[in-house]
Amino acid sequence: MTIILMRHGKPDHPATGRVSARALAEWCAAYDRAVICDVPPPRSRAIAHQASVVATSPLPRARASVTRLGLQADTVDAVFQEVALPLLPHARPQLPLTLWLALLRLLWLCGYAGQVESVQHARARACRAADRLVALSQHGTVLLLGHGIMNKLIARELRRRGWQAEKHASSRHWSSAIYHRPFI
């Protein structure tokens, strides 16, 4: 049994400029509506085509990535959706977008969730996602076309359950991590 966790392709949404925390909320909403603007590298395509079951998040960037791979999703489930960033209601300061993204993710990891799911809730959702993937793996190799943070949380849960990593994912678009169920 094998589970492949693959990150979606590059979103067709600019990630540059300076914005306020309030404007970041609009940027995040547009990011969640974005499709992708690149094609998968041959290695990612080859890895993906090993799957007999394809699962994905409902977000357009993940679903568009499945299509770019020339596949069709067997399962589309919000349990695989990316963890939202906590937002701040302030008009100032204006910071570079990449700094906001890193700062807010760090705040989230340290316990600040604002109006989004907490780290604890995201980990519980990752457990449910791992349950779903393990169940799907009964039908053959599973490909999850998902997102950076949620894929990492799912990978952590699979390792906790004894699944062995053949390949670890990076945070790059189209990166993949491959896990095999222990034989013992």
Average pLDDT over residues 7-34: 92
- Domain holding 106, by residue range, is 2-180
Question: How many of the other CB atoms lie within 10 Å of CB of 120?
Answer: 10
Query: 115 exposed, middle or buried (CB, 10 Å; 0-12, 13-18, 19+)?
Result: exposed
Q: Whole-structure pTM over 0.75, yes or no?
A: yes
Q: Does the pLDDT value for residue 53 go beyond 70?
A: yes
Tally the domains of the chain. 1
Which pLDDT band, with edges at 50, 70 and 90, does 184 fall under? low
Tell me the CATH number at 36: 3.40.50.1240
Average pLDDT over residues 28-40: 95
Give percent of the chain above pLDDT 90: 85
Residues 6+ apart with CB under 8 A from 117: 83, 84, 125
Tallying the residues shown for the chain, one arrives at: 184
Q: Does the pLDDT value for residue 54 go beyond 90?
A: yes
CA distances from 171 to 85, 94, 135, 167 (A): 16, 26, 26, 13
State how far Cα 86 lies from the chain centre. Answer: 16
Within 13 Å and on the Cβ side, how many CA atoms surround 160? 11
Tell me the two tokens of residue 20: 């306020």
Average pLDDT over residues 152-169: 91
- Given a contact cutoff of 8 angstroms between Cβ atoms, the answer to whether 144 and 131 are in contact is no
